[in-house]
Amino acid sequence: MSTSRSHSRPKGPPNKPASGAGPAGGAGRRGRGGRKLPAEFAESERLHKILAQTGIASRREIEEMIVAGRISVNGMPASVGQKVGPTDKVRVNGKLVNLQFSIRVPRVLIYHKPEGEIVSRDDPDSRVSVFDRLPKLRRGRWIAVGRLDINTSGLLLFTNDGTLANRLMHPRYQIEREYAARLLGSLDEEQIASLKEGIQLEDGPARFNSVDDGGGEGVNHWYRVTISEGRNREVRRMFESLGLTVSRLMRVRYGPVAMSPRLRRGQWEEMGVTEVCRLAGMPVPQDAVGARRRSAPKRG
């Protein structure tokens, strides 16, 4: 994986660690230690395999039971080769069977997007895409968690799990994003109050959760702002509505995930399993602790 040359980081206060975990998981079966296992993060299994693991009978015998109509799924006769998940009700001879499913841990990449890259796979102008730098997947594809416009750099998350992507992007979860913005000029107290109370944009009102002064030199002034939405160019448009130009914009945090100072522009690193499970609100599989922590190889 190639990486771009090193660039200096913007001035301003250091990244503030986020408190709390990511969005909570939904209801599901119990995992180890009595914790609830979100049903959407469990692997679907073939019926004869999952029943054989419970010790009811061998796989061959279970297939014969299916053919004989002795097994049902959600009140309907089961079929050979059918897959079931944690939310399905499986009965053998009319008796409900408690099935145990393995946890499917999503993969998550943390990417430091440079300016000049687009967050799209299809571009008629053939511009460089963030997807060009990511590692290949054997199955599925990487989903970008939110977007950054071509002139915005910083933290961008990718996952191979659509459910987790939705949890991180859906407005109802109010996931906070933090940006470092360099302005041509500075804000006065009245403007800061307006940005926090709400600015009327073309697509509706928008507001910052916080606005912190990051200092600066000459006409350039840095601010750290947080927002709980991800509308198109929202941060830039809010400043522009006050007549201020954003000369540089960088996302430094998305929810509980902050940009690592060691991650250079154009580089990615894979989040560890423990961190992914915390982000997804799911229990950590004991056989996966400490696994899957990779980074983009550096050019020699």
| Cβ pair 253, 12 in contact under 8 A | no
Task: Out of 149, 188, 203, 213, pick the active-site residue.
Answer: 149
Q: Is 149 a catalytic residue?
A: yes
Q: Which long-range contacts (CB under 8 A, 24 or more apart) does 228-237 make?
A: 228/174, 228/175, 228/176, 228/177, 229/171, 230/146, 230/147, 230/169, 230/177, 231/201, 231/203, 231/206, 232/147, 232/149, 233/149, 234/201, 234/206, 235/179, 235/181, 236/149, 236/152, 237/201, 237/206
| Cβ pair 278, 107 in contact under 8 A | no
Residues annotated catalytic, as ranges: 149
